[in-house]
Amino acid sequence: MAASRDTEPPIERTPPPAAGSAWAPPAAQPADPWAAPPTHTASPWSVPGAYQAPYGPPPHGVDGRRFVEGSNGLAVTSLVTGLTCCLWPAALGFGIAALVQLRGRHQRGRGLAVAGVVLGVVGLIAATFGLLTGTLHFHFDTADGTPAPPYRTTAPAVPEVPGTPGTGTGTGTGDRLQPGDCFSEQTAGGGPQIMPTACSGPHYGEVTALVVLPGSRFPGAQQVRTQAAIACNGAESSYILDPWARSSTIESQYSSPDTPAEWTRNGHTVICYLHDTTPGGGTGSLRRDGTNLTQSQRDFLQDVSSLESLRHLLRVPVTDPDMAIQTATDAVRTLNQTEYAFTRSTWPADVRERAAAVVNALQADEAVWSAVAKSYADPLSAFNAALQNHNPTALEAAGRRAFALPDRDLSADSAGAKPTTPPSATARPGAGGTPTAATV
């Protein structure tokens, strides 16, 4: 009977080699048809443990940098800030940060970062140039060919008066106008002239400031007038710290250079002054600053400054309950702010009781206006009663009397006064432009 397929074949035994014969390897065994297929051995050139990605590019490039989708956010921010006015420091910072970040990754945005850095550098150069031209001394030629003086941060010699403007024929101790000086217009043989005069008597104007405009070249009469109006309005605020002392008949005016020759001769100087439109001119000095106010008076004016806006608010007619409640709420807030300012100020012993009296009056008015803000039954009647008996104007006037300040608001008097004709173009303080009324 034939042997079964599953029966093991008989083991053939190889007899040991005879003594003295050389050893030989055993004969090759026949391949087992049922054995598992041989496995492939690793290539001698393969790296053990290396990542074998079945599909797609590896997460890192050949240089070790990783891939990141999209554009770099810092680069985009750098370009946007670089295209925005005055944000060049941010553009420069974001651009440098983006370039540093892109060195460690594969990502779009390098061009955006470079553009942002370039814009940042351009902004830096422009800012540096603007700073240098405003602080260093540069010499250029004016339009008429005469050399212009260097830019100054202090006022030069004031144009001389009286005499024909620009001729320098002034005489005596009053030949140079300074802040605080008053002057009048007089007619002489050569025409109208500007003459210094005492502020205690009638006068046309009172000098508030001498402003030296920046730059070397004459920018044009219109540009000079624009700069002069802004500068002189600011000078008036510093010259008259007490708003109640400024009458409604006062105008802020200035004398400015109108030609390149005047610009050079007067050292870019603008003369700011106040003119009283009252027929016959003003009388007395308008100055209310550190030269004639005590520190306590200046502190008082600073602390009650918020009441000025409240006074103007309460002048608006209140016609409905909601408006009455809202206005009363604003009054409570302003009174509270003023009270806080008074309690924070350091008052000398001689005025401490006066300041305490002002604080007590503020607290009393605040309580009344607080009740109006919560009066929902008849807020209009409550508002009118508070306005009649606890008007902040009366409170401030009492405080002004205690601190020896004017207790009457001159700015509310003579409303609608008409300005008079300003001096002629040939009769202005220090040659250089027709006095021009500035909007105040």
Backbone φ, ψ for residue 419 (5° rounding): -70, 145
pLDDT digits (tens, 9 = 90+) for 399-414: 999 999 988 877 665 4
What DSSP assignment string belongs to 397-440? HHHHHHTT---S-GGGSSTTPPP-PPPPTTSSSSSSS--EEEP-
* Closest to 221 measured CA to CA, from 252, 259, 188: 259
- pLDDT above 90 covers a percentage of the chain that reads 26
Quickly count: other Cβ atoms within 10 Å of residue 153's Cβ: 8
Mean pLDDT confidence for 344-357: 93
| Mean pLDDT lowest among 29-33, 125-129, 244-248 | 29-33
For residues 200 and 184, what is the distance between their CA atoms, to the nearest angstrom? 12
What DSSP assignment string belongs to 270-305? EEEEEEE-STT-EES---BSTTTS-HHHHHHHHHTH
Average pLDDT, whole number, for the chain?
A: 73
First-last CA distance in the chain: 134
At residue 383, the pLDDT reads 93
pLDDT digits (tens, 9 = 90+) for 367-408: 999 999 998 889 999 999 999 999 988 999 999 999 999 888
pLDDT digits (tens, 9 = 90+) for 9-22: 555 555 555 555 55
Strand, helix or coil at 188?
Answer: strand
In one-letter notation, the amino acid at residue 79 is L
| Mean pLDDT lowest among 105-109, 188-192, 331-335, 343-347 | 188-192
